[in-house]
């Protein structure tokens, strides 16, 4: 009777141990899943060389909205550049006139930051490119450059006959680059443009600069 009772208690102990291991394994899987979701939502940077630029794209669930987590090395003097017209198929756009509404730049802060970009209409019904950076201390800066009306035809036709190609640091990916080389975050090229002759949307030559939006980090 004593032997059977001992085996019974051992069996209970064994079952309890198996249950504890299963419960721990389940909690670990859930924690890993939550961590993966957080990384996808906020972007994750694995910085192995503090002298390089790093960028990771976060999950995006809205049209014309993007988010990146970026890291900029010290003393690099890097800027965020934007272009809202004549987006090239490859490379970096050439310089524009100083008073041009099609392009701009702003100095970025060193270290790790979140960068949000959004195309939307302001209270006056004008299309603007909203750019916002936030650092780990909670400080943030926002810019609202206007998009020239002559470059908003594709935006005015949202939901109709339009299409674009999108390259750069895409969702759930991360890249790094030397601080003396430009890093393209977004290259959105509109493949269908409005013809003033036919008054219709027509496909643009794939190699020509076209309407769209481009963001990159560089000098």
Query: What ranges do the domains of the chain cover?
Result: 1-42, 52-218
Give the pLDDT confidence of 136-180 residue by residue, as tens digits. Answer: 777 788 888 888 888 888 888 776 656 677 888 887 778 889 999
CB-count exposure of residue 113 (10 Å: 0-12, 13-18, 19+): buried
**Bridge-partner residues for 167, per DSSP?**
187
Mean pLDDT of the chain: 81
Rounded to the nearest 5°, which phi and psi values hold at 62?
-130, 145
**Residue 127 reports pLDDT greater than 90:** yes
Q: How far apart are CA 168 and CA 174, in angstroms?
A: 10
Give the pLDDT confidence of 74-83 residue by residue, as tens digits. Answer: 877 899 999 9
**Bridge-partner residues for 71, per DSSP?**
54, 112
Residue the block writes with tokens 């419960």: 23
Report the pLDDT averaged over residues 31-43.
55
Q: How many CA atoms lie within 13 A of 89 on its CB side?
A: 6
């Amino acid at each position: 009777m004593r032997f059977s009772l001992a085996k019974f208690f051992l069996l209970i102990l064994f079952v309890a141990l198996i249950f504890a291991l299963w419960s721990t394994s389940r909690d670990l899987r859930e924690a890993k899943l939550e961590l993966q979701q957080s990384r996808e939502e906020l972007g994750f940077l694995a910085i192995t060389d503090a002298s390089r630029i790093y960028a990771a794209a976060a999950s995006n669930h809205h049209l014309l909205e993007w988010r990146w987590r970026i890291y900029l090395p010290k003393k690099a003097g890097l800027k965020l550049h934007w272009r809202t017209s004549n987006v090239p198929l490859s490379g970096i756009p050439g310089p524009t006139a100083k008073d041009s509404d099609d392009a701009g730049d702003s100095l970025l802060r060193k270290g790790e930051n979140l960068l949000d970009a959004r195309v939307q209409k302001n209270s006056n019904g004008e299309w603007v490119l909203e750019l916002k950076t936030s650092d780990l201390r909670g400080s943030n800066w926002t810019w609202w450059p206007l998009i020239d009306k002559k470059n908003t035809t594709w935006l005015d036709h949202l939901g109709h006959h339009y299409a674009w190609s999108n390259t750069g640091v895409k969702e759930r990916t991360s890249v790094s680059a030397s601080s003396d080389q430009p890093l393209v975050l977004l290259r959105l090229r509109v493949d269908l443009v409005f013809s003033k002759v036919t008054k219709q949307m027509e496909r643009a030559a794939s190699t020509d600069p076209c309407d769209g939006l481009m963001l990159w980090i560089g000098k």
